[in-house]
Chain A
Amino acid sequence: MTGLNPEKQPLLALVNRETPLDPAGYDKKGGWRGLRRALGMSPAEIITEVTDSKLRGRGGAGFSTGMKWSFVPKESSKDRLKYIVANGDEMEPGTFKDRILVEGNPLQLIEGMIISAYAIQARHGIIFLRGEYHLGLERLQQAVIQAREAGFLGENILGSGFDFDLHVHPSAGRYICGEETALITALEGRRANPRAKPPFPQIGGLWGAPTVVNNIETFSNIPHILANGTEWYLGLSACVDGGTKLYGVSGRAKRPGVFELPLGTSLGVILNECAGGMQDGYKLRAFLPGGASTAFLGAEHADIIMDYPTPEKAGSRLGTGLAILLDDKTSPIG
């Protein structure tokens, strides 16, 4: 996106929704640096680095990404079949951040998945993309082919000895596929009912094999952590956890949309500085801070810090980080 600083807004800086970068263009703009560094490290080192960066899952649950990876059995990808899966089934009402990432810079996601696969030693990756994202699907499939041709996917990636390939799977529908165990079951070709845990997917997931499922925005952070280091990543945020966050608003704001800001920015900044405030004649009455499945907070919380703990203390959740605004002229019941 024009006017964005890759040092401060790494996720969106290279997003181009008309023409996303190809591997060579991505390389020129600083892409693949994270991957190159990661392949020279050990998987355990990468997991440590990601854990120390305090990256928390961006899909709504907020679980420590590094810790989730640490539960995966440690055998090498040649000795044990494991899977890495990107949850791109973005169907939470009010959420539209992952769409921008896959349409505008699919290689960022791909690079993130290769690094993550290397960290947990998985040979196969699947991007599970919401079926309605036709453009995203096209862009991702094209990017995967390009990445493969350029040697970033397939056998012996960049001479590292690590084999990994990606498959893009468009969902056949239904919101429940965003639930990670239902997603896995859908990938197996069965009805998308969620599964009981245990076993946890990291132990027994896709076809019974260890599987890590992460959100697209989560994976998109990984190349930058590996390229620029933990300290830099922690320095990006305004709170104790690391990194930036894709925030956004929908409802009667002047400019609803997605904005990349330090994690821990207040809703006041998001709504008033980035989205231009409420439309003329409308006042904010209440909001769902992180999408349809978070609790309402009243207008008195309009300036709330949008990190993980603060909305919880107030009785709600950060969720996806994109807020649905209720104005004073719309019935809350209907």
Chain B
Amino acid sequence: MIRNLEHFFAQESCGWCTPCRDGLPWVERLLIAIEEGRGTPEDIERLHDAARLIGPMGRTFCAHAPGAIAPLASGLKMFAEDFQRLVSKPTPGTAESGAAGRRLRRYGPMAKIVIDGREVEARTDVNLLQACLEAGKDLPYFCWHPELGSVGACRQCAVKQYANADDTRGRIVMACMTPVTEGAIFSVDDPEAKEFRGEVVEWLMTNHPHDCPVCEEGGECHLQDMTVMTGHRERRYRFDKRTHNNQELGPFVKHEMNRCISCYRCVRFYRDYAGGEDLGVFASHNNVYFGRHESGTLESPFSGNLIEVCPTGVFTDKPFSKMYSRKWDMRGAPSVCSNCATGCNTIINERAGKVRRTLNRYNDEVNRYFLCDRGRFGHGWVNAPTRLRSAGYVINGDMTPVPAQAALDHFGKIANAGKLVGIGSPRASLESNYALRKLVGEENFSTGMAEPQHSLVKLAVSLMSTSAARIATMQEMETSDGALILGEDVAATSPRMSLALRQIKRTAFNKAADQARVPHWMDASVRTLGQDTVSPLFLVSPTVTDLDGFAQDPIRTMPEDAARLGFAIAHRIDDSAPDVAGLTESEAASASRIADALLAAEKPLLVSGLQYASAALLQATANIASALAAKGKAPLLSFVLPEANSMGLALMGGLSLDEIASRAAGSTLIVLENDLSRRLDKAAFDTVTGGAANLVVLDHSVTPTAIRSQITFPSAAYSETDGTLVSAEGRAQRFFQVVYPDAPLQAGWRWIADLAQAAGFDHVKPWSKLDDLIAEIAATLPVFARIPEAAPSSDYTLEGIPLRSQTHRVSGRTAIRANISVRDIPPPASPDTPLHSTMEGSYGTDMPGTLVPFYQVPGWNSEQSLNRFQQEIGGKMRGGDCGVRLVEGIANAAGSYAMDVPSAFAPRAGQFMLLPEARVFGTDEMSMMSQPIADRAAPAVVRVGGAVAKGAQVRLSLNGELCTVDAVSDPSLPEGVATCPPHMVSRSWSTPGWVSLEITAPAERIGTESAV
């Protein structure tokens, strides 16, 4: 009878919390064994333990398991003899023999807000688990996450709560679900709580594969750490494990479901936090499955975060897997992602001279806990065969390696023949750009950006620095209560920003939570209460975006009309702003609605960008900000820029590519880390590259520009050198090398100093270290006066000792080079980074946030150890966060308005307005040279507003190139409008323009199978 009942209860478990999901099936199997004569006295002990540990209220999430235990506990007592009769003596030497009974000792703390007798000042807006961790008290947990809040599923964080000083019994509560209240008394070390926590791990272990030695998570596995922390060591479960089939989830993430401990973090991050839909939880009881409805590439561009969010090895880094190394064996360095202008902080890991993977590096104000997939998987190009690893002469399109000195000498000869002209790059560091500018002179230096990008970035910077609005950090965006995205597909141009914007809706739920007196960290409850809340996010965009579902009634309209709407909104806020004539009724109504919402908000936020190359959009957005400020509000402003150092180049100043083109004729043209074929149409590209007397290219990878050159010099990639980038937010941040490259690879700015020396130019003297160059930039260009503060200088020490970049357990220092030479050599060194290349050095949770090479503290080997580096979990790093703002708005700026309202969009008969379709994967230069990103990128397709037969293609002329592309009909676009991904069809095309589209019939297809 009891087995029958327990089978029912085990099968009917919903699968949410550990004791019920993993404890009841074990109970059932024990009962079956006993019933069939295979039971032992220790099995009866285990049943008693289960009754004792699962039965009392509070151990599990609901009353289901306590109900299951009622007949078990009473039956064990009442039918003790029946049980005894069925069991046999234990077999000596097996897991079942010698099980020790555990005596409970009383432990009673006697003070207020006490944790195990220690008076602690704990914050009241956090849960008790977080308070314990912040007090330095180790308490194991799984399902709680600082950014995802508490749900109480895993039951790992059980502690004893006492009603008052006289209560000596206490009751077990889950720390993550318990608020911190004045006078509360808790115990973490209480034996009953400890035993229960150990038991939770034992329940999780019943099904967990014992494959630590071959599991990639090993060494940075949260489950390993928590198992050790609870002291669970002996396996007593002797029955079968449940197993699962794995799925193919795409080029980024590997799937190994047998390791799953059902903490539900993955689906909470993927669905609730990141808005993804194709990852879910299936089935129930201890058969719950986390995956897709069928194998297939995960659709969310944040899928890579699963790797860090999953506490075991269910989701692991697939590209890293192909060149795997243990965490403790890799060198780490703090870096900054350069695949867009957002400036997310990263940690890059290296072993044997190769970058292995990219991880998130916490920055309280920028990316916090998460990265996008382009950033996480876009580094592969640094190891790719497309790297330039030696100086070379290009003769008839063929690159011939030559010794660096020979190339320098050759440069020395040609440099004095004519004028030196330099083209910098928004994907190169500030330092390298500055060095080039110094070499060629201000009047001969180009930012490397073509029009209209060059002027638009300058306009954006100008608007930001003269606005009365504050430039928003991404963290601030999350708590805005009234936001407008005007004409930009942020989900594609700055995915990490779109992730922050999604949290606007979650923040809005907090009002409903406050009314019901539910704390904000109780995530599931807050989401329940906030269901009806209308999103305070407005979105105006020509195309469908991933944020549409999060916005209140997204408005679909062409860029000009979006700008007009923006101007109209500004006017309705402050009528000194210019009005817009000729609005339709619906446009006017939208403008009023949005204006009212922004005025009612306490933290209004305006976002726009450069996707549609529209100055009007930027001006309209700035007008709204000025209008709000004029009405006494404190608006936040953000412009999405295209490249990692777009902002830096705009601040540095220089000519546009178009302006420099004329100067370049007949000159010695030095191009720094810039592929001009992506910026200039074919004719202009040929003119510039062909018209120069000599073309010298410094780059880390082969590009069409490098192939046109006469001499190339291999500059170090971001992972091999150190420097500064300025993000779209105006934040100057330093990146540091993790690889110490073989000669002749070196930083671009070092090459430039060498070029100067080779040519006998005195005005550029070599800089012996990066700090010297940075100091010079700061002294020479006032806008960069603060960049030395972006990170400590290379002589930084922690308690008198320089920092180390490897863990103490790193292995193979000399063995790795044994194939080259068995002789010991001094470890690699660089004067540009404060981090030592070896395991010798200092390390601590107080180290500067800008210099963290990896997260690890004793007992916490996974990314959870980040908790210890933060003053308050989810708050600032103890050692300070990264970067320094170079651009701020001007508080109390007089409201000056742009007055040029554009005309409404007017379609042209026989032509299409072709708009750029921003993409996370495919349109960015360097990330597309990384294999996983190339695999992930969908083929280029032209989307047409209007009917297009299945399998048809379009022929069109883009920037002077005749292109044939697969075409598909897109009902969300108006007739006469089409989209095309920039740089994927015509290498240089990225700006909206009128085109003639010749739609060809499916029968006339060129190329292989249709991409659609």
Chain A contact residues, CB within 8 Å of chain B: 91, 93, 174-176, 179, 181-182, 191-196, 198-199, 203-204, 207-208, 286, 288, 292-298, 315-317, 326, 330-334
Q: Which of B3, B71, B512, B532 contacts A295, CB < 8 Å?
A: B71
Chain B 54-87 interface mask (CB, 8 Å, partner A; 1/0): 0000000111101110110111001100110010
Q: Which of B1, B71, B86, B525 contacts A294, CB < 8 Å?
A: B71
Give Cα distance in the complex from A123 to B280, angstroms: 34
Contact A192 B14 (CB under 8 A): yes
Residue B736 lies at the interface, judged by CB distance under 8 Å to chain A? no
Contact B529 A204 (CB under 8 A): yes
Comparing B4-12, B188-196, B435-443, B820-828, the segment that makes contact with chain A is B4-12
Which residues of B from 500 to 541 have beta carbons under 8 Å from A?
A: 512, 516-518, 522, 524-525, 528-532
Contact A174 B12 (CB under 8 A): yes
Given contacts A333-B83, A333-B86, contact A293 B62 (CB under 8 A): no
Which 6 pairs from chain A and chain B are nearest by CB?
A293-B67, A295-B74, A194-B62, A175-B12, A296-B74, A332-B79
Contact A333 B2 (CB under 8 A): yes
Contact B1 A198 (CB under 8 A): no
Contact A195 B71 (CB under 8 A): no
Query: Number of A-B pairs whose CB atoms are under 8 Å?
Result: 124
Contact B525 A199 (CB under 8 A): yes
Closest chain-B Cβ to A321's Cβ sits at a distance in Å of 15
Contact A198 B525 (CB under 8 A): yes
Known: A196-B61, A198-B517, A333-B86. 13 other contacts (CB 8 A): A179-B62, A182-B62, A194-B61, A195-B524, A198-B516, A199-B525, A199-B529, A204-B528, A295-B70, A295-B73, A315-B74, A326-B1, A333-B83
Give Cα distance in the complex from A91 to B67, angstroms: 13
Given contacts A204-B528, A208-B512, A286-B78, contact A179 B64 (CB under 8 A): yes
Contact A292 B516 (CB under 8 A): no
Contact A334 B531 (CB under 8 A): no
Closest chain-B Cβ to A22's Cβ sits at a distance in Å of 37
Give Cα distance in the complex from A229 to B155, angstroms: 47
Give Cα distance in the complex from A192 to B529, angstroms: 17
Contact B531 A293 (CB under 8 A): no
Given contacts A196-B152, A333-B2, contact A293 B78 (CB under 8 A): no
Given contacts A194-B62, A199-B516, A296-B71, contact A331 B525 (CB under 8 A): no
Contact B13 A176 (CB under 8 A): yes
**Tier of interface size on chain B:** 35 or more
**Interface hub of B3, B62, B528 (most chain A Cβ within 10 A):** B528
Q: Which of A191, A208, A298, A334 contacts B1, CB < 8 Å?
A: A334
Q: Which of B16, B35, B518, B522 contacts A193, CB < 8 Å?
A: B16
Contact B35 A199 (CB under 8 A): no
**Could you pull out 12 A-B pairs where Cβ atoms are within 8 angstroms?**
A91-B12, A191-B14, A195-B528, A196-B61, A196-B525, A204-B525, A207-B531, A326-B1, A333-B82, A334-B3, A334-B4, A334-B35
Contact B512 A194 (CB under 8 A): no
Chain A residue contacts of B61, Cβ below 8 A? 193-194, 196
Contact B5 A93 (CB under 8 A): yes
Contact B13 A294 (CB under 8 A): no
B15 nearest CB neighbor, chain A only: A193
Chain B contact residues, CB within 8 Å of chain A: 1-5, 8-9, 12-16, 31, 34-35, 61-64, 66-68, 70-71, 73-75, 78-79, 82-83, 86, 151-152, 177, 281, 284, 512, 516-518, 522, 524-525, 528-532
Give Cα distance in the complex from A326 to B13, angstroms: 25
Chain B residue contacts of A198, Cβ below 8 A? 516-518, 522, 525
Closest chain-B Cβ to A275's Cβ sits at a distance in Å of 19
Contact A176 B64 (CB under 8 A): yes
Chain A residue contacts of B78, Cβ below 8 A? 286, 296, 298, 332
A330 nearest CB neighbor, chain B only: B1
A324 nearest CB neighbor, chain B only: B1
Given contacts A194-B14, A199-B516, A333-B86, contact A181 B62 (CB under 8 A): yes
Closest chain-A Cβ to B289's Cβ sits at a distance in Å of 12
Give Cα distance in the complex from A207 to B528, angstroms: 7
Q: Which of B67, B83, B529 contacts A292, CB < 8 Å?
A: B67
Chain A residue contacts of B525, Cβ below 8 A? 195-196, 198-199, 204
Q: Which of B63, B86, B530 contacts A179, CB < 8 Å?
A: B63
Given contacts A196-B524, A333-B83, contact A294 B70 (CB under 8 A): yes
Closest chain-B Cβ to A59's Cβ sits at a distance in Å of 12
Contact B281 A191 (CB under 8 A): yes
Give Cα distance in the complex from A98 to B152, angstroms: 33
Chain B residue contacts of A176, Cβ below 8 A? 12-14, 62, 64
Contact A296 B67 (CB under 8 A): no
Contact B281 A332 (CB under 8 A): no
Give Cα distance in the complex from A250 to B152, angstroms: 37
Contact A203 B516 (CB under 8 A): yes
Contact B528 A174 (CB under 8 A): no
Give Cα distance in the complex from A97 to B881, angstroms: 64
Chain B residue contacts of A199, Cβ below 8 A? 516, 518, 525, 528-529
Give Cα distance in the complex from A298 to B530, angstroms: 49
Closest chain-B Cβ to A247's Cβ sits at a distance in Å of 19
Give Cα distance in the complex from A191 to B290, angstroms: 13
Chain A residue contacts of B3, Cβ below 8 A? 333-334
Contact A292 B9 (CB under 8 A): yes
Contact A293 B530 (CB under 8 A): no
B281 nearest CB neighbor, chain A only: A191
Chain B residue contacts of A334, Cβ below 8 A? 1-4, 35
Give Cα distance in the complex from A208 to B321, angstroms: 44
Give Cα distance in the complex from A191 to B63, angstroms: 17
Given contacts A182-B14, A203-B516, contact A288 B528 (CB under 8 A): no
Chain B residue contacts of A204, Cβ below 8 A? 512, 516, 518, 525, 528-529
B153 nearest CB neighbor, chain A only: A193
Contact A196 B177 (CB under 8 A): yes
Contact B8 A333 (CB under 8 A): no
Give Cα distance in the complex from A91 to B5, angstroms: 13
Chain B residue contacts of A316, Cβ below 8 A? 70, 74
Q: Which of B15, B86, B532 contacts A207, CB < 8 Å?
A: B532
Give Cα distance in the complex from A181 to B16, angstroms: 14
Give Cα distance in the complex from A332 to B79, angstroms: 7
Q: Which of A182, A192, A332 contacts B82, CB < 8 Å?
A: A332
Give Cα distance in the complex from A297 to B71, angstroms: 10
Contact B531 A333 (CB under 8 A): no
Closest chain-B Cβ to A58's Cβ sits at a distance in Å of 17
Give Cα distance in the complex from A330 to B75, angstroms: 14
Closest chain-A Cβ to B51's Cβ sits at a distance in Å of 11
Give Cα distance in the complex from A238 to B525, angstroms: 42
Give Cα distance in the complex from A334 to B35, angstroms: 6
Give Cα distance in the complex from A334 to B86, angstroms: 11
Given contacts A176-B64, A208-B532, A326-B1, contact A333 B13 (CB under 8 A): no
Closest chain-A Cβ to B707's Cβ sits at a distance in Å of 56
Give Cα distance in the complex from A198 to B514, angstroms: 12
Chain B residue contacts of A179, Cβ below 8 A? 62-64
**Interface hub of B9, B12, B73, B82 (most chain A Cβ within 10 A):** B12
Q: Which of A91, A175, A194, A333 contacts B79, CB < 8 Å?
A: A333
Chain B residue contacts of A208, Cβ below 8 A? 512, 528-532
Give Cα distance in the complex from A248 to B16, angstroms: 33
A292 nearest CB neighbor, chain B only: B5
Closest chain-B Cβ to A203's Cβ sits at a distance in Å of 5
Give Cα distance in the complex from A198 to B512, angstroms: 13
Closest chain-B Cβ to A92's Cβ sits at a distance in Å of 9
Give Cα distance in the complex from A196 to B35, angstroms: 37
Give Cα distance in the complex from A332 to B78, angstroms: 10
Contact B71 A293 (CB under 8 A): yes
Give Cα distance in the complex from A298 to B79, angstroms: 10
Give Cα distance in the complex from A69 to B820, angstroms: 81
**Interface hub of B16, B177, B281 (most chain A Cβ within 10 A):** B16
Give Cα distance in the complex from A151 to B920, angstroms: 58
Give Cα distance in the complex from A91 to B79, angstroms: 26
Give Cα distance in the complex from A174 to B64, angstroms: 12
Chain A residue contacts of B68, Cβ below 8 A? 293
